[in-house]
Amino acid sequence: MKRVIAALLLSCLAFGAATEASAPPAAAQAQGRAAQAAAGTAASTGTTLPPAALSAGMPPPSAVDTAPASTPTAPGPGEVETQDALPQPSSAAQDLYESARGDLLQIRMLLKNGRTQSTVGSGFLVGTSNLALTNYHVVSQMALDPDIYTAEYIDTDGNTGPVELMAVDVLHDLAVVRINRNGSGFFKVPEQTLRLRQGQPLYSLGNPLDLGFAISEGTYNGVLTRSFYDRLIFSGPINSGMSGGPSVTASGTVAGINVSRRRDGESVSFLVPVTYAQDLLRRVAEQAAPPEDFNPLIAKQLLAHQGGMVDRLLEEPLTLKGMGPYLVPVRESGQVRCWGRSNAKGGAAYAVDAMSCVMQSAVFVSDSQQTGNVAMTHQFIRSGSMEPLRFAALASRIFQVDNLGSSGDPRLTKPHCTERFVHTRTVPLRAVTCVRAYRKFEGLYNFTLLTASTDGSQSSLQSRLDVSGVSYENGMRVTRAYLGAFGRAGRR
């Protein structure tokens, strides 16, 4: 009877999510199949400072390590924040800057209606061509919404001109643009892989904080291993507005493109390796003309990323960790890190042990949208003193799925949710699956799966899986693997 009371309360409080208005007809049918398949399969088959109590209904935790343009971010171009000034450059750095200054650019996104500045970043001319390299996140507004945004450049002499977008690489946060003047040949993009030595001096250039062009000295310190794609570690300051600028050796050979920095560290910054820029420049040389619409190209790149991401995530069975009497699925790897925390204190009415596993990178699409990420959270709630009915009300309140997706994102459809009471091999669960389709990128979805155990009168295991930017098939693959892995210690 106690178990029935807990299950009924959980069911009633989540009715709003289960009956949320569906997405537009084109997406709703696939979403419904995905949600039903995830729940049906379960029935048949059986950073650093995470929150003290992670509610299954709360937004997923953010990645705590680098992600293109955002987490930890190279703050968006034009972002206002307090940062230390760059240190005084050495005489060698001053000489290099004087040689390079003619090929440095500031790239500005402008609202077409009124031509007011929206964001700013940096870029640089490649060799003696009229092509310039920058970050995708610097020009993302123009790539996604060319009817609303345009771009212009300004060089160190104050000359300005239009910017034409030629190619983008969303996965590595790169873009190639064309302008109406040529470079002097100072910035050399090597044709072969550039070999750097640990501790080798590098010089980063750009326009920090929209205050003027500058140079920053630092050193190369290896390759970041926690990112899905390689990032070079640059031990030196890269401030807002320097995104898209070059980091070069003493001879002017480009080693990488400024992309991000750690906000919780000092002089810990990251570069896109120049090898990815080489690939993108080759694509530009081979294309007859730039795409008229970059959105299908971006969708194609995101679909390619999610395939590799899911294959890597599921190449081995999910690891099982004990939480109370339960076994919960997690994935610990170079790209996914897990953290745990408890609020257990003597004399408290109830205790919560929480575990959070988050992929350490995501793909920047726009200021309001990141994708290609996986997060898993679990919390075990228990009480030895609360009456079963009161504990059931507490567990239901924490589960809170009634507002899932209510924050609204114009780039996504409304969530289409289904609810099932399922039984894995050893654990009865209430499962709510919600799917949202990407409006601009056909074939991509965000999946959210919330679960709560229904077999305890004074304990509750509540879990959440978030998978963003995946195909319908891969979203089902991940939710099936996750839901089917729950078990009970000693009985799986």
Q: pLDDT per residue over 255-313, tens digit each?
A: 999 998 776 666 788 999 999 999 999 999 999 999 999 999 999 999 999 999 999 99
Q: Give yes or no: residues 386 and 317 share one domain.
A: yes
pLDDT higher than threshold 70 for residue 68:
no
Is pTM, for the whole model, over 0.75?
Answer: yes
209, 239, 261 — which closes off a domain? 261
Does 69 fall in a domain? no
211, 235, 261 — which closes off a domain? 261
Q: Give yes or no: residues 133 and 198 share one domain.
A: yes
Q: Give yes or no: residues 184 and 329 share one domain.
A: no
Confidence of residue 194 (pLDDT cuts 50, 70, 90): confident
Q: Give yes or no: residues 326 and 233 share one domain.
A: no
Does 387 fall in a domain? yes
Does 471 fall in a domain? yes
Domain, as residue range, for 217: 91-261
Please give the average per-residue pLDDT across 392-411, as a whole number: 77
Q: Give yes or no: residues 105 and 243 share one domain.
A: yes
Q: Give yes or no: residues 53 and 97 share one domain.
A: no
Confidence of residue 65 (pLDDT cuts 50, 70, 90): very low
pLDDT higher than threshold 70 for residue 406:
no
Q: Give yes or no: residues 247 and 315 share one domain.
A: no
Q: Give yes or no: residues 316 and 457 share one domain.
A: yes
* pLDDT value at residue 13: 27
Three-state SS string across the chain, please?
CHHHHHHHHHHHHCHHHHCCCCCCHHHHHHHHHHHHHHHHHHHHCCCCCCCCCCCCCCCCCCCCCCCCCCCCCCCCCCCCCCCCCCCCCCHHHHHHHHHHHHHEEEEEEEECCCCEEEEEEEEEECCCCCEEEECHHHHHHHHHCCCCEEEEEEECCCCEEECEEEEEECCCCEEEEECCCCCCCCCECCCCCCCCCCCCEEEEEECHHHCCCEEEEEEEEEEECCCCCCEEEEECCCCCCCCCCEEECCCCEEEEEEEEECCCCCCCEEEEEHHHHHHHHHHHHHCCCCCCCCHHHHHHHHHHHHHHHHHHHCCCCCEEEEECCEEEEECCCCCEEEEEEECCCCCCCCEEEEEEEEECCCEEEECCEEECEEEEEEEEEECCCCCHHHHHHHHHHHHCCCCCCCCCCCCECCCEEEEEEEECCCCEEEEEEEEEEECCCCCCEEEEEEEEECCCCCEEEEEEEEEEEECHHHHHHHHHHHHHCCEECCCC
Return the bridge partners of 168, or none. 175
Q: Give yes or no: residues 394 and 444 share one domain.
A: yes
Q: Give yes or no: residues 340 and 478 share one domain.
A: yes
237, 261, 285 — which closes off a domain? 261
Does 329 fall in a domain? yes
Q: Give yes or no: residues 105 and 244 share one domain.
A: yes
Rg (CA), the chain: 25
For residue 122, the domain's CATH number is 2.40.10.120
Which range has the top average pLDDT, 62-66, 177-181, 407-411, 420-424?
177-181
Number of domains in the chain: 2
Percent of the chain at pLDDT > 90 equals: 59
Please give the average per-residue pLDDT across 161-175, as a whole number: 97
Does 348 fall in a domain? yes
Q: Which residue has the higher pLDDT, 358 or 66?
A: 358
The string of pLDDT tens digits covering residues 223-247 is 987 778 889 999 888 888 899 999 9
Instruction: Answer yes or no: are the C-beta atoms of 124 and 105 closer than 8 Å.
Output: yes
Does 454 fall in a domain? yes
Find the helix packing angle between 472-484 and 25-44, rounded to 10°. Answer: 30
pLDDT higher than threshold 50 for residue 99:
yes
Q: Give yes or no: residues 351 and 241 share one domain.
A: no
pLDDT higher than threshold 80 for residue 222:
yes
Cα 301 → chain centroid: 15
Confidence of residue 121 (pLDDT cuts 50, 70, 90): very high
Q: Which residue has the higher pLDDT, 422 or 84?
A: 422
pLDDT higher than threshold 90 for residue 405:
no
Does 411 fall in a domain? yes
Does 195 fall in a domain? yes
